[in-house]
A = this chain, B = another copy of it.
Amino acid sequence: MRPEEVKALLTAVQERTTSVDAALRKLQEVPVDDLGFARLDGHRELRQGLPEVIYAEGKTVEQIGTIAGRMLETTTAPVLATRVSPDKAGALRSRFPEADCHATARMVVFRAREPSAMTGDITVVSAGTSDLPVADEAVVTAETFGAQVHHVADSGVAGLHRLLGEQQRLHDSDVVIAVAGMEGALASLVGGISSAPVVAVPTSVGYGASFEGLAALLAMLNTCAAGVVVTNIDNGFGAAMFALRLLRKIHKA
């Protein structure tokens, strides 16, 4: 509730067009939509600038479907689910035939914005074939909200010269998302040759002493290239959401 709204409410009380009790209720009331197992948060778009997204892990197809259905009815925003297993994705598509299933990204998009509805562009750079699920999660999330995304795959540090060929694009993008497992050196490299903000996403790709992504995470946090920040391991979704916050600032500035 913004100050003007509170002021308007108080004025209505003063002018007795609203009773004290009604105003009290209004001040206490929070727009929450309760589905029994999950509360939908209608105010979130206002508050955080982006609508709620369905995290499918640990939810049944029934629960995902109910939430998605309600969101399709009550909002006009994009509706999408992350971490959807192939089984659940199949079941959801029977129920929502118009939904798009992205196998590698493990996502289902029930409703997207128009492509390029949001001005600005994002470059996603990923290191190896095994990093694709995480990179694609970032790509699909950003595209669903209407951003333009360019994906440069298979550009790990061992193939340094490949990356150098994309140097201009890395400078010009509004934001770069660097996705890598193993030693995570890609983030330092991209940070060193680009002037754009770089969001690094460590992945759990690797074996032995990668300790499920810990090696890449620590490496990215310790990058000697100033101006690189980090998300949780395998969190392509989070990187995209951060990039979208940024695009809204850039293109509404």
Q: Residues of B contacting A225 with CB < 8 Å?
A: 48, 157-158
A: contact size bracket: 35 or more
What's the Cα separation between A228 and B5 when bound, in Å?
28
Q: Residues of B contacting A182 with CB < 8 Å?
A: 222-224
CB-contacts of A24-73 with B (<8 A): 24, 27-28, 30, 32, 37-39, 41, 43-44, 47-50, 53, 55, 57-59, 63
B215 touches A209 (CB 8 A): no
Q: Residues of B contacting A238 with CB < 8 Å?
A: 226-229
Sample of 5 more A-B contacts, CB < 8 Å, known A182-B223, A207-B234, A218-B219: A50-B227, A53-B226, A158-B188, A174-B253, A209-B233
- Is A210 an interface position by the 8 A CB rule? yes
Q: Residues of B contacting A154 with CB < 8 Å?
A: 37-39
A24 touches B10 (CB 8 A): yes
Sample of 15 A–B contacts (CB below 8 Å): A37-B153, A37-B154, A38-B154, A39-B155, A41-B162, A43-B161, A58-B129, A158-B192, A174-B253, A183-B221, A185-B185, A185-B223, A207-B234, A216-B219, A229-B242
